[in-house]
């Protein structure tokens, strides 16, 4: 099994090499270097002219590509504007106290302390117990009085 795979790989490599040679023979003619200095200079001039033309084409296609990309961005922005859907950037949570925020906005002018916790009323535990009064119950002591259905059905009316 491994021998079959190895021979198959060798055949594929040989086929690729033959294909490469055929492509080079078709598209790249063999280079014939002239013997005299004048002919070499003419060959160099031809090659430079070809290089310049290829560079011009490359530059033109790059400019055209940039232009189309810019048009695509503009059209996509117009599309978002028309739809009314905008991409909202992710907002970061800023942990800043009111004092720090006022200092940042007003600078050294800020003299007022905005400690909101200091202004809160202190509630003692005894006060909270007084607030929580038991609700009045039905005479049967099973339901609060605000449940009118039970109060009307209860036979122990007070």
| Per-residue tokens: 17 | 């090499």
- Each residue's pLDDT tens digit, 16-65: 999 999 998 888 877 777 778 888 899 899 999 999 999 999 999 999 99
Selected residue with higher pLDDT from 124 and 36: 36
Q: Kindly indicate the confidence band of residue 68, based on its pLDDT and cuts at 50, 70 and 90.
A: very high
0.85 exceeded by the pTM? no
In the chain, how long is the greatest CA-to-CA distance? Answer: 132
Question: Would you say 138 and 156 are in contact if contact means Cβ atoms under 8 Å apart?
Answer: yes
Boundaries of every domain in the chain: 2-28+39-83
110, 102 Cβ separation under 8 angstroms: yes
pLDDT at residue 83, as a whole number: 78
Residue with tokens 């599309």: 79
Percent of the chain beyond pLDDT 70? 66
């Amino acid at each position: 099994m491994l021998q079959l795979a190895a021979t198959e790989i060798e055949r594929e490599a040989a086929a690729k090499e033959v294909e490469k040679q055929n492509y080079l023979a078709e598209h790249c003619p063999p280079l014939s270097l002239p013997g005299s200095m004048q002919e070499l200079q003419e060959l160099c001039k031809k090659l430079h002219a070809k290089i310049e033309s290829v560079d011009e084409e490359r530059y033109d296609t790059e400019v055209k590509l940039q232009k189309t990309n810019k048009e695509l961005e503009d059209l996509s922005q117009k599309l978002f504007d028309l739809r009314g859907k905008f991409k909202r950037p992710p907002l970061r949570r800023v942990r800043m106290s009111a004092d720090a925020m006022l200092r940042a906005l007003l600078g050294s002018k800020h003299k007022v302390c905005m400690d909101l916790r200091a202004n809160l009323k202190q509630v003692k535990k005894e006060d909270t117990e007084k607030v929580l009064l038991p609700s009045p119950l039905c005479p049967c002591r099973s339901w609060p009085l605000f449940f009118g259905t039970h109060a009307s059905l209860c036979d122990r009316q007070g």
